[in-house]
């Protein structure tokens, strides 16, 4: 083997070593990128759960208002038992929505730790508990008032 062959071999080995380093850097970069995408996906999951919570609350409030309004709007138009039944179903549905909102928000299935902070559980329980009490009061009002 002459000096030219030895020089080519050394150059090929250096090129191979540089290529291996580049490959390692690329793999590390892809792994970091995948980890970041996983955290961002967990963040999106938290935010989607909050949007779902808000939708349950909106639906519950609309059902509560409809149940209360049924008494005023249907008075004299349909029999009293039908007014009470309609109002009861709507108000009970609103209570279900308030309870379902808490259940859905407090039991997410998220494996990676997201960076997004969640709403405090005590706040959700307090607000939804109050809304459920309002729904029960409205139910009593439909039948007594």
pTM of the model: 0.68
Check pLDDT > 90 for residue 130. Answer: yes
Q: pLDDT (tens digit, 9 = 90+) per residue, 10-66?
A: 677 777 667 767 767 666 666 667 777 887 888 888 888 889 889 999 999 999 999
Smallest CA-to-CA distance from 135 within 55, 56, 63 is with 63
Domain ranges of the chain: 3-144
**pLDDT score, position 115:** 73
Q: What is the CA radius of gyration of the chain?
A: 31
Please state the separation of Cα 59 from the chain's center in Å. 16
* Residue 134 tokens, joined: 């309002």
């Amino acid at each position: 083997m002459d000096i030219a062959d030895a020089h080519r071999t050394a150059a090929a080995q250096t090129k191979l070593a540089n290529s291996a380093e580049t490959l390692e850097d690329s793999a590390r970069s892809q792994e970091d990128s995948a980890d970041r995408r996983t955290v961002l996906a967990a963040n999106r999951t938290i935010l989607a759960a909050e949007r779902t919570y808000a939708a349950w609350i909106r639906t519950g409030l609309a059902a509560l208002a409809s149940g209360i309004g049924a008494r005023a709007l249907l008075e004299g138009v349909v029999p009293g038992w039908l007014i009470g039944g309609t109002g009861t179903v709507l108000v009970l549905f609103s209570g279900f929505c308030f309870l379902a909102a808490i259940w859905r928000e407090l039991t997410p299935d998220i494996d990676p730790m997201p960076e997004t902070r969640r709403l405090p559980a005590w706040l959700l329980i307090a607000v939804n508990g109050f809304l459920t009490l309002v729904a029960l009061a409205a139910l009593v009002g439909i039948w007594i008032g």
